[in-house]
Amino acid sequence: MKIVSPFREITPAGDHVSVRFEQADLMLPRGENLAGALLVAGIMPFRQTPVSGAPRGPFCMMGACYDCLVEIDGVTKQACMLLVTEGMDITMPSAKGPDDAER
Amino acid sequence: MLSADLIIIGSGPAGMSAARRAASADLSVLILDEQPAPGGQIYRDVDRASALRGDILGKDFRDGQTLTKGLQHDNITHLKGAVVWQIEDGTHVAFTRDGRAEFASSQRILLATGALERPMPVPGWTLPGVMTAGAAQILLKQSGIACERAVLVGSGPLLYLVATQMVRAGVPPLALVETQTKTDLMRAMRHVRGALRGWPYLLKGLKMLVELRRAGITRHVGATQIAVDGAQCATAVTFRIGNTKHRIECDTVLLHHGVVPNTQAARSIDIPHSWDDAQNCFAPECDEWGRSSVATVFIAGDGAGIRGAKAAAYAGEIAALEIAHDLNIVSKEDRDASVQPLRKGLNAERAARPFIDVAYPPYAGALTPSDDTIICRCEEVTAGDVRRMAGLGCIGPNQTKAFGRPGMGPCQGRYCGLSVTQILSAANEIPPNKTGYYRIRPPLKPITLGEIAAMAEAETIEVRK
C-alpha cells in the first residue's frame, strides 16, 4: 500500500465519513466516487487477481474493466460505480480459489 | 412492470437528446443509466462538476448542461443507477437497481451505450497506476481529482484535452508520449478539405497545443516500443524515438489511442456488426435512422460508430424522430422536415473526422502486441497465448475461450475483444470481418441471485394447476 498518494483533490469535498478498507480506518468524502476517494486516501492496490495474484487498481473508472473490484458485505462490487457512504466495510475480494486458467 | 413507449439505455449525449426529442413528440420515455447523474462519460456529472470546477473542464464540457436540462420533461422518467443486463424480444429490458432486478417493457428501444477506450495492451499496462486517459478525465470531472507526476501516452485529441485540463488544474503532466508520426500527418492532409469544413475542431486542437507549449509540457512524438515499468505499481514509462531510448519516472501512466463503440448490448441481441477499416474496430449495422436488424431496436451515438459528442446528440434526435414516426405519432412529412437541420448538423460534425482518424491512428505496437504482453486483463492471457491458439487451429475468438479463457473474466471481453480479433486475423491471414468477435451473452453485467430473487417478490406469479 502506498503511503503518499499521487492523486490529489483539487476542489476538496466537505463532509467526511469513516470507512474501513482492510485494516485501515479512513475518512472519505461522503457521496463522492468510492474508487476516486480510495485513490486519494493512498489505497493501492485494490485487489489481487485470482489468476496470478497480481496487484490491480482502477483502470477505466466507468464500470467496464472490473479492475477496481472490492468486497463489501460479502459481495464483490466495482468501486468506481459506488458512492462513499458512512461505515462502509471494504476488503479485497477474497476470490483466492483454485486457478481456473491452469486447470 | 415499468413500461414506456421508448426505453433509452444510456444518458450520454445521444440518449439525452433522443429522450428530449421523443418526449416533445409526446412519447413516454424511460431512461436507464448506470451512473448516479446524467451526462454519460463525456459530460460525466456535468451539473455538479460545472459548478465546482467548470473553469478547469472548459466550455465544451459545461455545454452538456443544455442536454441534462432537456431531461426535465413530464414524459421522461430517468432511472439513475440502473444497470441493464438483458434485452429480450427487442421490447423488454432487465436491469438491476438498488439491489433488486426489474423488467421494463416498451414499443421501441434505443441503445445509446457510447464508447469504450480502445484497448491499448503494452507491456505493464495492468500495473496499478496505469489507467486510461478517459479514467483520469472522469476522476477530474466527477471527483475533482488530479493525477500528479503523470505521463500521457498514445495518440488523439483527447490526450491534448486531458493535458490542458491538468495544466489548468495546476497539476500538469510530466510529458506527452505520442505515437502518431509525421507520415500520419502527411497522409491526413488528403482529408484536409473536409477537415477545413470542420475547422472549429482544428482550431481547438491548435489552441490546446499552444496552451501546452506555453505550459512547458514536453511532447515526444513518434514513440515506439512503449512499456510501463514497475513491480507493485507503475514507476516509469519507457519508449523509443527513432533509435533513442527514453525513460520517464512517474507515478501514473495514462493510456489512450482512440475510443471504439461499446457494442456489448447490441451484440447480445445478435445485431450484425461489420469491421470499419478507417476506425479499426467493429460497428453495428444500422440504417441512416439508427434502425438495427432488430426492427424495434435503434442505436445512436458513439455506440454506432465514433463521431463524437455533438454528432451523437444529432444522431439521438434523428433516431427519436424515426421512432415517433414508426409509432404513428409523427407524420412522414413532419419527420422529413424536422430531420433536415439535424442531418446538416450531423454532416458538419463528421467533416473533421476522416482527418482526425488518419492523423491520429491507433498505436501499431498495441495492435500487434509482443508475445509476452497481457491482452486479456481479467484472465491474464498474453498475445503469445492467442498466437499459439491460432497455431493450433483457432479460427475465431469464441474458440480461444475454450483454449485459454480470454474474454471469460468479469469484463466479458470489453478490453480484449478487439485485440483477440486482430491478433487472430493477422496470425490466420483472415480479415477481421471473417474472424469475427466474441459472442456476447446476457447477463451483460454480473448480477447476484439475491437481486434476481427480489424480482420475484415484485411480480405476480400465476401458478397453473
SS (H, E, C) B121-160: CCCCCCCCCEEEHHHHHHHHHHHCEEECCEEEEECCHHHH
- Cα–Cα nearest to B345, from B369, B313, B321, B368: B313
Encode pLDDT of B259-296 as tens digits: 999 999 999 999 999 999 999 999 999 999 999 999 99
Residues of A with CB under 8 A from a CB of B: 2, 6-13, 32-33, 36-37, 39-40, 44-46, 49, 51-52, 54-67, 69, 75-76, 81, 83, 100-101
In the prediction, which pLDDT does B1 show? 87
Say if residue A50 is preceded by a cis peptide, omega within 30 of 0. Answer: no
Encode pLDDT of A1-17 as tens digits: 445 899 999 987 789 99
Beta bridge partners of A20: A25, A89
What does the alpha-carbon distance between residue B86 and residue B93 come to, in Å, rounded to a whole number? 6
Interface test with B, best of A9, A30, A60 (most B CBs within 10 A): A60
In the prediction, which pLDDT does A1 show? 45
A47-48/A55-56 β-pairing = antiparallel
In the prediction, which pLDDT does B459 show? 55
- DSSP letter string, B332-378: HHHHHHHHHHHHHHHHHHHTTHHHHHHHSPPPHHHHS--TTSEEETT
C-alpha B5, offset from chain centre: 26
Task: State the count of interchain CB pairs (< 8 A) between A and B.
Answer: 128
Contacts of A43 in chain B (CB under 8 A): none
Q: What residue in A sits closest to B403 (Cα-Cα)?
A: A101
**Interface membership of B117 toward A (CB under 8 Å):** yes
Encode pLDDT of A43-79 as tens digits: 999 999 999 999 999 999 999 999 999 999 889 999 9
Torsion of CA A65, A71, A75, A81, to 10 degrees: -40
CB atoms within 10 A of CB A97: 7
Which residue has 464500470 as its cell numbers?
A63
Average confidence (pLDDT) over A73-88 = 95
Contacts of B252 in chain A (CB under 8 A): 6-7
In the prediction, which pLDDT does A63 show? 97
Which residue has 409509432 as its cell numbers?
B327
Q: Are residues A60 and B116, on separate chains, in Cβ contact within 8 Å?
A: yes
Q: Where are the domains of chain A?
A: 16-94
**Interface membership of B236 toward A (CB under 8 Å):** no
Report residues of chain B scoring pLDDT below 70: 457-465
Is pLDDT above 50 for A103? Answer: no
Is pLDDT above 70 for A99? Answer: no
Nearest C-alpha of chain B: how many angstroms from A14? 12
Beta-carbon contacts of residue B158 (< 8 Å; ≥ 6 apart): B133, B134, B137, B256, B259
Contacts of B146 in chain A (CB under 8 A): 7-8, 10
In the prediction, which pLDDT does A11 show? 83
Burial B167-203 (b: 16+ CB within 10 A, else e): bbbebbbbbbbbbbbeebeeebeebeeebeebeebbe
Encode pLDDT of B93-129 as tens digits: 999 999 899 999 999 999 999 999 999 999 999 999 9
Contacts of A83 in chain B (CB under 8 A): 36
In the prediction, which pLDDT does A73 show? 86
Q: What residue in A sits closest to B406 (Cα-Cα)?
A: A101
CATH topology of domain A16-94: Ubiquitin-like (UB roll) (3.10.20)
Nearest to A54 among B126, B170, B448 (CB): B126
Domains of chain B, each with CATH number or no CATH: 2-116+260-330 (3.50.50.60), 119-257+355-359 (3.50.50.60), 368-430 (1.10.10.1100)
Is pLDDT above 50 for A39? Answer: yes
The vertex-B167 CA angle with B37 and B252, nearest 5°, equals 75
Confidence of residue A95 (pLDDT cuts 50, 70, 90): low
Nearest to B414 among A11, A64, A81 (CB): A64
In the prediction, which pLDDT does B126 show? 98
Beta-carbon contacts of residue B225 (< 8 Å; ≥ 6 apart): B238, B239, B240, B365
CB B306 within 8 A of CB B349: no
In the prediction, which pLDDT does B202 show? 86
Number of residues that make up chain B: 465
In the prediction, which pLDDT does B455 show? 83
| Phi/psi of residue B257, nearest 5 degrees | -140, 55
Helix H or strand E encompassing B433: helix B432-435
